[in-house]
Amino acid sequence: MEAIVSTSKEASVIVKSRFVLPGSHAFKNYIDYLDRDKAKRESTNENNLDFMNYQDYMGNQHKTTSLFTNQFDSLNEEQKAKLKRTFSIAQKNESILWQDVISFDNKWLEEHGVYHSKSHSIDEMKLKEVARLSLNEMLKREGLDKSSVWSGAIHYNTDNIHIHIATVEPSPTRERGKRKLKSIESMKSKVINNIMDRSADLKVINDLIRNQMVHSKKNDNTLSFKNRKLKTDFFEIYHSLPKDRKQWSYGYNSLDNVRPLIDKLSRDYIEKHHKEDYQKLINKLDKETEVLKKTYGASDNKRYADYKKNKVDELYKRMGNAFLQEMKKYDKNLKSNPNLLLTQQTKRQVLKDNLGFRQLKYGIDRMLNSEYKNWKNQMAYEQLQQQIDRER
């Protein structure tokens, strides 16, 4: 009996998994493989990564590195003999044998400094470290980390460098061999994340969101003169918030109706103050999406399809909370100092009165100016008449 789980075939990293029962031929062959005298047999199809010829494939010494385990990078004869006894005990106790293959696109490995095509050299220590981290992650998720023993080998003779791993339980804790798909996917993610270092690019993305835009907003008063065009939306949101200030957080259900207004306020603020930062963020997210698509494979779109959207949503959530925090502070000041509202109303009234006074003054000035011009014209006319009379 067997069950095979395979990840996206067009990806840069592929993980294949299956399990066999203790009475199967594959289990016995793997134990025989641990004894090198019995393992010297010819290879079958080198390019066949299916598990049908798994043991023959593992047994060819001309195309594989030495066995390694969770504790040792290369087993000596004594360690191999001990491992063989452990696998024999596991089979006798009717343990399941899990077989995993981690396969790589060689060009992808070369891009990340693990493989060099000209010298055909491989960073074996890196691949063994990755195998340990990824397998232990999967075993932990499956609850097998305390009870299992495994061994692995790196195969390098095909177009795709790959790692074979076999796992058993000397004292079995489970009868079913099927593992959760999420456990296999986490294994793959661990491999990718420990070979492909995207920390610098992710840091730029997070810095654009958290520092360049959101932190900048936290230090910028929405009610200042330079943000006067945002005040209307600010106060519309403020007056629409629930009475309980504890609910003034972007994710609360009670803010569902007002959240579109919060997003609009954030969008207008970003457009006014961080247009270039936002465009830079979008470019970075597009690039990261393409990297994830290439690495995980186009068919595994859940790994990258929502990545850009999730990051933009994060920006709006953080920016929205920055505005809501400002509203909390404004509301707190208003509650602790009721005269503040009166003062603001008085200021508005003064401005209104001043506007009326200026309009009245402007009207009077125009009238006086008009009268003055009429008087000047009348004086000029009378002087002209007097001059005409004298000349006569």
What confidence tens digit (pLDDT) does each residue in 131-182 have? 999 999 999 999 999 999 999 999 886 678 999 999 999 999 988 889 999 9
* 119: its two tokens: 């010298």
φ and ψ at 77, to 5 degrees?
-65, -40
Report all structural domains of the chain as residue ranges with CATH numbers, in order of start: 5-195 (3.30.930), 199-336 (no CATH)
Output phi, psi for 122, to 5 deg: -125, 140
Q: 3-state class of 374 per DSSP? A: helix
Predicted pLDDT at 56? 40
Query: By three-state DSSP, how is residue 277 classified?
Result: helix
Phi, psi at 33, each rounded to 5°: -60, -30
Torsion sign over Cα 275, 281, 284, 286: negative
In angstroms, what CA-CA distances link 143 with 21, 169, 180, 211, 268? 19, 12, 11, 40, 50
Cβ 115 vs Cβ 107: under 8 Å: no
The whole-angstrom separation of Cα 327 and Cα 233 is 12
Q: Which residue blocks in the chain are alpha helix, DSSP H?
A: 25-33, 54-59, 77-92, 106-111, 124-142, 181-195, 199-207, 216-218, 231-240, 259-273, 275-296, 307-336, 339-391
Please give the pLDDT value at position 294.
84
Residue 371: per-residue pLDDT:
66
The per-residue pLDDT for 340 is: 57
Question: Mean pLDDT of residues grouped by 10 in the chain (392 residues)?
Answer: 54 89 70 52 36 40 72 89 89 91 92 89 93 94 94 83 93 90 91 89 94 94 89 93 94 95 96 96 93 80 82 96 95 77 51 58 67 68 70 64
Whole-number pLDDT of residue 368: 64
Question: Phi, psi (5° rounding) for residue 368?
Answer: -60, -40
The per-residue pLDDT for 354 is: 57
Helix (H, G, I), strand (E, B) or coil at 305: coil
List pLDDT tens digits, range 347-377. Answer: 555 445 555 656 666 666 676 667 667 666 7
Give the per-residue pLDDT at 361.
61
Cβ-based neighbours of 318, under 8 Å, separated by 6 or more: 209, 210, 214
d(CA 171, CA 222): 65
pLDDT at 321: 97
